[in-house]
Amino acid sequence: MSPHQQAARSGTSTSTWLGPATFRCEVMGYGVDATWVRAAGELDMGTAPELDRVLRDAQSCAHLVVLGMHDVSFIDSAGMHVLISASASARLGGGRLIVDAPPPVHEVFALVGTSDSVDLFDLTADDAARLRRVAS
């Protein structure tokens, strides 16, 4: 039993136990024209395969996939590779992957010279609403 599970059973605090990082990736809405995916947590070598699977499923159902990454706290080269590969796959199939991410994610792609490989945006709520209307 993990320290976190032990503390939960005993009712004690787990504030000092860091434990493994969590990552969530969920489809927020499926459609023929657009699919919305939201990722949260640390996107690294251990969690990148989950995002890859979700994006492949989404791309098989819709021409446009919008990936929300505002709740991603970390991204490494494995996560970047998934985004670059998914963007290339979308283009080859006549679709598009839009990555809605905060400026630090844009900066990471710029630092390694791959900004042109991924359609990066920092969408406001109004931008997202307009995109939903256009895509539906």
- Give residue-wise pLDDT tens across range 35-75: 999 999 999 999 999 999 999 999 998 999 999 999 999 99
HSE (side-chain half, CA atoms, 13 Å) at 12: 9
Three-class SS string for 85-108?
HHHHHHHHCCCEEEEECCHHHHHH
Q: Domain limits of the chain?
A: 21-135
Show the DSSP H helices in 31-116 as ranges.
48-61, 77-92, 103-111
In the three-class reduction of DSSP (H, G, I as helix; E, B as strand; rest coil), residue 81 is classed as: helix
The CATH class of the 21-135 domain is alpha beta
Give pLDDT tens digits for 84-123: 999 999 999 999 999 999 999 999 999 999 989 999 999 8
Q: Which amino acid is at 6?
A: Q
**Token digits of residue 38:** 């939201």
